[in-house]
A and B are shown apart, each in its own frame.
Chain A
Amino acid sequence: MSTTTTQSGSGAPAGNSPGHTGKPGASRLVSWKAGIGLSLLAILGTILFAFMAGPKSAGFGIAEASNTGASTLAAWITLILALVISAGLGYLWFVRRSGTGSGYATVPRWIPACTVAAVIALCLAALGVAKVSKITLESGPVGWICAVVLLALAGYSVFLTQAKKTTPRWVGGVFATVFLVGFLVWIVAHGNDAEPAISLAGLIAGSVTLAVPLVFGSLSGVLCERVGVVNIAIEGQLLLGAFSAAVVATVTHNVYAGLVAAAVAGALVSLVLAVVSIKYLVNQIIVGVVLNVLISGLTSFLFSTLLTADPDGLNKPGHLPPVDVPFLSDIPIIGPILFHQSLVGYLMYIAVIVVYLGLFHTKWGLRVRAVGEHPQAADTVGINVNRTRFWNVLMGGAIAGIGGSFFTLVSVDAFSKDMSGGRGYIALAALIFGRWNPIGAFLAALLFGFADNLQSVITIIGSPVPSQFMAMLPYALTVFAVAGLVGRSRPPAASGIPYVKG
């Protein structure tokens, strides 16, 4: 034998233990995406917020002057509750983290998230108790502070990347928050008034409102993709939901009938998707796109022929009025935002919670997720894959249809051509940004709703940025979020793949 091996019997095998589950670790490949992305944004932020800061100050209205007196008691109760909860969660977080010694891997994900939420509630309640109605910030100093923090965070991320460590997620979170603060101050300070100001409460409340159809749409997507069917037809479901709600509510003079009709219409769109893609194995994406085009054409045709001819008889649905939840709506700032909603808005909260609990804590959800991950495995334990898919897709359609009714029963009082305006696609992005999780999708939809609302608020007060650019904001954010911030997320393995037995 003329050759030898340079391996000197090493290799440090992990012993004779086939049951050992550890993976061979060692130096990791660290992407420069975070480092470079944050650096570019930090530089942009420095130029805009610091060097181009306007001479004026920026005002942020906190509460509407009208209801300050009514809610003192609610404010105090909230303050105390938020204090107790945030202290409790913070303590729990601290104990879990230091107790095990192995870092925050053992802290359940909900603890940090809920702690942050409780602290925010605490701050807002404190503002409410102190009866602060407006905060005014000087754009120059605030801009500089933001710029310095952004640069520091970007530098830290670059340093970590160079040391072959991944950037922790809190860096991204803090960066995004500071960037947002800097951006708001900068853009508001460039408003046309002498003392430009916007209502922060109104901004956020509007975001929730605008997010409603997105949330319903993305929940529809979650239900479908988790079971292995890609639902591109969300746009069509929203649109047909809106149309049916308008027509049925007008004809029956009953908005609730309109709501039900919207759900049925969404389910009908899903029925086509389900039959064609599950039974006849046509490519799901193509079916979805075709459905969207079909429904856009169909509703436009019916609108321009029938609805415009007889708007009073066919296109004058009533309005689902906002309903206040007693006491909860009295909570300063949060109350009016969360608990001054229409029926559709409350349905949204219920749907998010029900879908989340259903998917992750029930027998039904376990089966649904199994079908979306490994349909054959589900089949071998006696689950009817295609039936499960079929019903889930129908359910998803119904939910998206209810989301569509929001357009005609809550936000505008009549149907108009293509009024869903691509929100079905944004819902799809929210679904991916939210990592196929109902709560994630909800939060992502809120973010997109925020961008949407900010855009219109800024256009009203006037800004140095051309309004066309501002109108791009929600979509630019979508691209950015889905491409850059999602990180490594794993869609359901069998999503988009039809199941053929055998």
Chain B
Amino acid sequence: MKLELKGITKRFGSLVANDHIDLVVEPGQVHCLLGENGAGKSTLMNVLYGLYDPSDGEILVNGKPVVFKGPGDAMAAGIGMVHQHFMLIAVFTVAENVALGNEATKAAGFLNLDETRRKIQAISEQYGFDVDPDAMVEDLPVGVQQRVEIIKALVRDAEVLILDEPTAVLTPQETDELLAIIRQLKADGKSIVFISHKLREVKEISDTITVIRRGKVVGSADPSASPTELASAMVGRSVSLTLEKKPAEPGDATFKVRDLVVVDQNGQHVVDGLSFDISQGEVLAIAGVQGNGQTELTEAVLGVQPHVTGSITLDGVELLGKSVKQVLSAGVGFVPEDRKVDGLVGTFSISENMVLDLYDKAPFAKGIGMKPAQIASHAEQKVEEFDVRTPSINAAVGTLSGGNQQKVVLARELSRPLRLFIASQPTRGLDVGSIEFVHKRVIAERDNGTPVMIVSTELDEVLELADRIAVLYRGKLVGIVPAGTSRDVLGLMMAGVPEHEAELTAQKTHEGGTHA
């Protein structure tokens, strides 16, 4: 099936998310949409999938114009989509999720789930998916959930499959498995639209690359182009993909974690017996697939997790059992993983957000009164220093772009003298320019002699920043490896394989020559 988009434009108020986009997806082809976060890739695909009405332009299937009033129409036309955030109902079984919207029924509308189970098994066998139709979706690992999404599309006879940032939640090994599935689908004559900002995968899988920037198609690229070329096309200026940094000069280990256990509401050990140290002037990166205890680890240090045992010491002082305020005043800087939820108060101004943790201390307060003039001049200075692009320091922080919001969080956390700096997903959702800036500030803080803990699910970021890498899997420490460790080894460790075993396996794979 040949799919064409002609002059698709989508406006949200005054914002033009897609500006006259033309795109042709040929049958049996993997077509990559490359672009930064916020470039308009997902909007375009939501238009194609019938979730948004295009403001202008038309969609052609096999040369005939079509109008999708909703996803139902798109599916009927043979378009399937795997969303970045899976559209699965956690408390339903796999079969119920697959059946939904496309139910096989017996008399009087009663569900015929056996029929759906049969279909799932047929597809599972054809593509080598190992999916139990009666498993509850919430109990499945994300890799399997993604396969359920693919099954959902295939059951509806999709000819074009849109994958929106499909690798964001996967381990490197799961990513390889997904790429293999894509090749298989392609061999079956299906077209794939693969949306990503990860250059490596794009180069590996695609037949054609279309680069989108600020809602416009800025050109197409060949999969053989170098990563720097692709990145430059994506960002619109030349970028250096590597961070220049001096080797670390670690001092004393001032931050120590011993036998840390965090138990969640359900009694699960989400952090399970962690012990590690971080030295002054060193970056320890915590690697792992999302949801393996990283969030709980950082929150335990900050003091917002309720059930924590073990010991966390900073400069010899026990942090466990202290209030968040005491932890902060002990010199802990904390960049939370979700800046909108935990990092900022969206409706407050930039200057107010800059002093969220210092509002009651001199020079910003005296007695019960706050000193607006001091707060404003502080904000002016920080906005300047951190290059926050804003019309005014009185603008609500929620109106800024993600990159600028993150700069506000960083400015606040780095404005105190720190004894420990923790940053969780510091560059999630940022553009390449902001990423560069954030990384530089993190390394600058390290060079100041602060122990730094970075939590990131992006292997690129981990490799870029880390002096040592700790890999977490299901709340346990798989191992701590030096900065130069290969991606293959890290990938295996992220799936729970111990360090030495991972190295052996990775070597074998290399000898086998299956990896580039």
Residues of A bordering B, CB below 8 Å:
1-7, 9, 11-21, 23-30, 361-364, 366-367, 369-370, 373-374, 376-384, 490, 493, 501-502
Contact = CB atoms under 8 A, between A and B. Distances in A.
B337 to A, nearest CB: 21
Nearest to B480: A5
B475 A24 contact: yes
B81 A380 contact: yes
A363 B105 contact: yes
A24 B144 contact: no
B277 interface: yes
Contacts of B497: 13, 15-16
Contacts of B477: 5, 7, 11
A18 B173 contact: yes
Contacts of B108: 362
A-B residue pairs, 7 tightest by C-beta: A382-B72, A381-B101, A13-B496, A28-B267, A377-B87, A11-B476, A3-B277
Given A373-B89, A381-B75, A381-B152, A362 B479 contact: no
A21 B171 CA distance: 16
A385 to B, nearest CB: 10
20 contacts: A3-B253, A3-B276, A3-B282, A5-B276, A12-B476, A21-B139, A21-B144, A24-B475, A361-B111, A363-B109, A363-B110, A366-B100, A373-B89, A374-B90, A379-B51, A381-B100, A382-B75, A383-B101, A502-B51, A502-B52
A370 B89 contact: yes
Interface stretch (B91-99, B364-372, B507-515): B91-99
B478 A366 contact: no
B70 interface: yes
A502 B498 contact: no
B263 A29 contact: yes
Nearest to A30: B267
A12 B478 CA distance: 8
A184 to B, nearest CB: 37
Interface in B371-398: none
A19 B144 contact: yes
Contacts of A20: 141
A494 to B, nearest CB: 10
- Most chain A Cβ neighbours within 10 Å, of B75, B91, B473, B500: B91
A455 B135 CA distance: 46
Contacts of A13: 473-474, 476, 478, 496-498
The SS class assigned to the B binding surface is mixed
Interface in B457-516: 468, 470, 473-480, 482, 492, 495-500, 505
B92 A370 contact: yes
A1 B276 CA distance: 13
A27 B267 contact: yes
Contact of A362 (B71, B109, B173, B495): B109
A372 to B, nearest CB: 9
Interface of B: 46, 49, 51-52, 70-73, 75, 81, 83, 87-92, 96, 99-103, 105, 108-111, 130, 135, 139-141, 143-144, 152, 171, 173-174, 250-253, 258, 263, 265, 267-269, 272-279, 282, 307, 468, 470, 473-480, 482, 492, 495-500, 505
A403 B76 CA distance: 42
A105 B365 CA distance: 59
Contacts of B144: 18-19, 21
Contacts of B83: 380
Given A11-B476, A27-B267, A377 B88 contact: yes
A19 B130 contact: yes
A204 B496 CA distance: 59
A15 B473 CA distance: 11
Nearest to B171: A18
A7 B90 CA distance: 35
A14 to B, nearest CB: 6
Contact of A11 (B91, B251, B267, B473): B473
A369 B100 CA distance: 10
Given A373-B91, A502-B51, A362 B474 contact: no
A377 B89 contact: yes
Given A5-B477, A24-B474, A29 B173 contact: no
Nearest to A373: B89
A501 B51 contact: yes
A15 B173 CA distance: 13
Contacts of B152: 381
A373 B92 contact: yes
B103 A376 contact: no
Contact of A364 (B89, B109, B470): B109
A384 B49 CA distance: 15
Contact of B277 (A4, A24, A369): A4
Contacts of A16: 173, 492, 495-497, 505
B71 A24 contact: no
B478 A24 contact: no
A501 B12 CA distance: 13
A430 B173 CA distance: 48
